[in-house]
Amino acid sequence: MSKGFVGRVAAISTDIELLDQKIQRQEEEVRQLKTQRNTLALISMLPPEILSQAFLYCITFDDKRYCGAYRWPWIQISHVCSHWRNVALGCPALWSCLEFSCPAWVPEMLQRSKMAPLSVKVTAEDFFNTKVKDAIETTLQQVSRVSDLMLCMPGGEKSMAELLVTGMRQAAPLLRSLSLSTSISAWTRGPVTLPLEFVDGDAPRLKHLELRNFHLPWDSALLKNLTSLKIFHTSTGSAPSLQQLTDVLARMPGLEILELKDVLPICKSTTPVDTVPLPHLHRIKLDGDTVSVALLLDHISFPSTTQMHFVCVVGNIDSNALIDKASALLSPLSKIRSRLSEPSSSHSQHKPSTLNITSTYAELHIVAGRCCDGSSAPNSAPPWLDLTMKGTIAVSTKKGELAAKILEALSPLTSIRHLTLNAPHNFFAVKTFAKVISSLNQVHVFHAEGPCVSDVFKGLQLLRKGMDRVLIFPSLKVLTLTSVDFDPNREEEYEVVDQLQTVLMSRYEAKAEIRSLTLKTCSRLSSHDVQQLRDICVSVRWDGIEDFEDEDEDEEDMFDYDDMMDDSDDDDLMYFGGPVSFPAQWWYPGL
């Protein structure tokens, strides 16, 4: 290669370098011009305080739901321009919601947040990153700055939970909300016990406390002046005495939400215990043994409009003992209901208007609610009462008797306009249950589901003695039937259809006509049957499903039993030489 060519290449490289430098100068000049232009934009005239407030709206939603460029919007806005970046960096609150899905960011966010109150939320998924533990430890060293703390640790991490949480002995003067959660597994042996010195017992602003499989001593200074208390355990090993629990609740006169699972008093106190008033309570959930739930309800009082959710375990007891064990709950329910009926009560307009009764092999579920819009249709509003009785009770009549006792305790139920019943055969036939149901004279809509429908039809035909008036649901106008087998005995007589026709006719003649009939996912019901119903009822809505299949027939087709047993070769082997012992390899080719 000649020296002249090498010289020309070197000269070209020098020229390119000079041009690149000129381009950089031009780009820098353009950038400066854009910066000057941006300063003239209307949004740039906003004071940094207002712009910072606008940035804060980017972190008000749950960022965990988003991914990619939309996951961390407060990071994105700091990249728009240098002015926005400077404003973002100068806004400590923008960096106070720590991001533990990226543990490496936490130290920098702690620095940028300066002395702003911290929001710490760590989910079980965050623990998949092995570095998250160090990030949490670094953060908890500044627990005095934390205002909201939520730690949700995966199962099997009890040692980590103890290490991270029990070491928090600094005071938390800014802490408003505390939520600690972990899963219990076979080797963790009970909840994580917090020391009495947890956060030095000093969190004067604490209002919301939620503990899942964490145990805080009942004499802890943190258990006072709360507006929300939620404690969930998987066993009753840490349950307080009645005196301990009422003492705790007495220190929370402003309590609005109370949820307890397996932390209810197991037995009565040997000394008198005062009733604790909770005048501001608007939601209560108790989950535990029936007697324990009743015991606490007997020693607290709250407004009759409080939303109640009770899960009462009766266990696998003898059917005859069911009523005796469940009767402990009846008195507290009756007292609560009576307060709602007091003439002087300002909440009389909040009486329940919807009632849902569901009975399965393992539980009895009763829900009573209200219709916010004044109609009879149920809505998504939280119910006034959600009661579940858990226990394996095979005799459906006993569950019907229990349901009757509960409804009697909740009586009067004359305000019920929408009733739903899903129960087994003979449930509705219980005399005491039918008596209570007959008192619901304002029911406008009735939804029946499952095998109980046959008994329901018999009840809907009953007339009052010496009168041509119906006994049950005289105001009924709308009837909905779901998942009804119209020929349960497979006799092809379709007796249920005949019963339904009789109901419609008898109520028409008694001037208690059902004006609307809806049929959903029913089996062994034909279009001809529906047409006969339309000849009687003004409005019949049917989903058009004609299902005449039997489960037994489906299974037979699936396994093809008939073809397999009728094969001619099989017959020859069976009857011409007796049973044959085939080599194992014929059945298991891999051997």
List pLDDT tens digits, range 196-214.
889 999 999 999 999 999 9
Which letter, b or e, does each residue of 402-437 get, where b requires 16 or more Cβ atoms within 10 Å of its Cβ? bbbbbbbbbeebebbbbbbbbbbebbbbbebbbebb
pLDDT by residue (tens digit) across 370-417?
865 444 455 567 899 999 998 766 666 778 888 888 999 998 888 899
Say which residue, 174 or 579, is predicted with more confidence: 174
Specify the pLDDT at position 462: 77
Specify the pLDDT at position 234: 85
Average pLDDT, stretch 41-65?
Answer: 74
Helices (H) and strands (E) counted in the chain, each on its own, are: 19, 20
175 vs 149: CA distance, rounded Å: 8
pLDDT by residue (tens digit) across 522-559?
988 999 999 999 999 999 999 988 877 765 554 444 44
User: Confidence class of residue 491 from pLDDT cuts 50, 70 and 90?
Assistant: low
Say which residue, 490 or 124, is predicted with more confidence: 124
Specify the pLDDT at position 495: 77
Say which residue, 451 or 464, is predicted with more confidence: 451
pLDDT by residue (tens digit) across 145-155?
999 999 998 87
The full length of the chain comes to 591
Which letter, b or e, does each residue of 541-564 get, where b requires 16 or more Cβ atoms within 10 Å of its Cβ? ebeeeeeeeeeeeeeeeeeeeeee
Specify the pLDDT at position 102: 86
Q: 451 phi and psi, to 5 degrees?
A: -65, -15
Residue boundaries of the structural domains of the chain: 43-95, 444-591
Instruction: Identify the CA nearest to 39 among candidates 95, 81, 102, 9.
Output: 81
Beta carbons within 8 Å of 544's beta carbon, 6+ residues apart: 527
Q: How do strand 418-422 and strand 385-390 relate by DSSP bridges? A: unpaired
